[in-house]
Amino acid sequence: MTAETSVLVPLDPDETFALLTEPERLRRWQAVTARVELRAGGEYRWTIIPGHTASGMITEVEPGKRLVFTWGWEDSADLPPGASTVTITLEPAEGGTRVNLVHSGLTPEQAEGHLQGWNHYGDRLVAAARSGDAGADEWVVFESGDALTAAEASLAVCQAVLRQLGPGDGSAQTPCAEFNVDELVEHLVGSLHFLGAAGGAPAPADQTGSPEVRVASTGQATIEAWRKRGLDGMVNLGQSEVPAGVAVDIILMELLVHAWDFAQAMNQAITVDDALSTYVLERGRSLITPQMRDGSNFAEEIEVAPEADSLTRLAAFTGRKA
């Protein structure tokens, strides 16, 4: 069976092809994280929503015209990576580019489900073409009590905030007294690299680009390494040996709390699934001990109103004032 759909994208074929293939642009409408080797025989890996990652091999590339790749879901017995094929063709049309997608090699049930998905992301592709960013995806929610899925969801939140950085925002003071926005980005990238190395992630090959690009690429490499390693056993963090799960709990706190910091610095609204911030708060309560509240690592927890949402409670738990 096949799933087939088509949308008219209000861009020329080359710009449309870029939206379909460049990681920074894919994150604006389809993927939480995206890694792409854009060549025949190259691999790709896209976390579409937290906990659900598609991967496969690119088999044909004609820039501005055609893209073919195998498709499947990691940890899926029914449709593993490489089990099906997606063919995308681009045709110049009045008003932009007609994008035709054919997903073959599916069962009837898979075809129905994937058609729903491709239609959803087709609409978001058009929205991203019109405005540069399709905005928050209602499908990106935290559904399970799994630390690495929570890390992917937290990374998505942080990326969305950093995409809104303006030209003068780098010097804005954050709730962390020692950091402005630019300095906090450096701290976060450094922390992700350190925590990723503990899980076996390689050193980042390229640290150029916008803050969103840097956090996205380092965060993706870090989470991928921990998914490959797993959370059993102990790891070295500097001078200490800690349970592997502790390192991932720190990743959660770094991503979601600093996303809040960035939003506060830029006077920007931040939307976080309540289940996610509740989960991260629970993990934080087991992570942050009274001895760590020395004013250098964390301040004392701040009391909040009974009606405060869980993200506000998380920030207050770390000693931050809303």
187, 105: one domain? no
Whether the per-residue pLDDT at 269 is higher than 80: the answer is yes
Please state, rounded to an integer, the average pLDDT across all residues of the chain: 94
Q: Is 176 helix (H, G, I), strand (E, B) or coil?
A: coil
Give the Cα separation of 101 and 88 in Å (integer): 5
CATH number for the domain including 246?
1.20.120.450
Mean pLDDT of 10-14: 98
Determine the pLDDT at residue 268.
Answer: 93
Of 83, 104, 131, the one marking the end of a domain is: 131
* Residue 138, domain member (yes or no): no
Same domain, 86 and 216: no
pLDDT at position 46 over 90: yes
Q: Does 301 score more than 80 pLDDT?
A: yes
Q: Is the predicted pLDDT of residue 206 greater than 80, yes or no?
A: no
pLDDT over 70 (residue 205): no
Residue 285, domain extent: 147-317
Phi and psi angles of residue 127, each rounded to the nearest 5 degrees, phi first: -60, -40
Q: Does residue 131 contact residue 12 with C-beta atoms inside 8 Å? A: no
pLDDT digits (tens, 9 = 90+) for 143-184: 877 999 999 999 999 999 999 999 899 999 999 889 999 999
39 and 97, same domain (yes or no): yes
pLDDT-derived band at 208 (thresholds 50, 70, 90) equals confident
160 lies in the same domain as 211: yes
Q: Mark whether 285 and 247 lie in a shared domain.
A: yes
pTM, entire model:
0.94
